Amino acid sequence: MNGDLESIVLTEEQIGQKVKEAAAWLDARFNGEYPLAISVLKGSVMFFCDLVRAMKTPVQIDFMTVSSYGSGSKTTGVPKIVMDLAASVEGRDVILVEDIVDSGNTLVRMRDLILGRGAKSFTVVALMDKPSRRVVDVKADYACYEIGDEFIVGYGLDYAQKYRTLPYIGILKREIYE
């Protein structure tokens, strides 16, 4: 385990199992369709790549970079679109893939944007869910794992852009970010 972590929340194997279950849920929901799967960069990139490869349903993939945390550990509350989608979402079944739903601000911003552009449906799959931190009333349609208010990193999740490439998710030691 990385020395900056105090404990592991999900091992690589446990993440693999969660990914399989989420993929099966999506396959059941989109059987026979051709949805557009969107990765909200950068945090969701690892989960997204594993998830779309675990699905049997063919999907179109696209990417959007949204950022609200900058280099610190506190949200600015205003998610900024740093890079927009290449594809049109008009008339499409959109699957939004998130690494974590925290305050919910990013999700609301994405939902309003995508439905505002005329998507046919909007489905959110999140790897991690922190319901205790929510400031807006929104939730993922499918969340793989619910966690309390711990500072977690790894498998896409960062602190000051670090730890994203760890293959597991763990709790960061307090002394690292305080």
- 102 among known catalytic residues: yes
Distance of alpha carbon 121 from alpha carbon 109, whole angstroms: 16
As measured in angstroms, the least distance from the Cβ of 71 to ligand PRP is 10
As measured in angstroms, the least distance from the Cβ of 91 to ligand PRP is 25
As measured in angstroms, the least distance from the Cβ of 31 to ligand PRP is 28
Distance of alpha carbon 40 from alpha carbon 46, whole angstroms: 11
Q: Choose between 105 and 123: whose C-beta lies nearer to ligand PRP.
A: 105
Residue whose CB is nearest to ligand PRP in the complex, by number? 43
Contact 173, 167 (CB under 8 A): no
Cβ neighbours for 122, distance < 8 A, ≥ 6 positions apart: 94, 96, 111, 114, 115
CA 23 to chain centre: 14
Q: Which residues bind ligand PRP (CB under 6 A)?
A: 40, 42-43, 66-69, 75, 79, 98-107, 158
Q: Choose between 57 and 105: whose C-beta lies nearer to ligand PRP.
A: 105
Catalytic residues, by residue number, are: 102
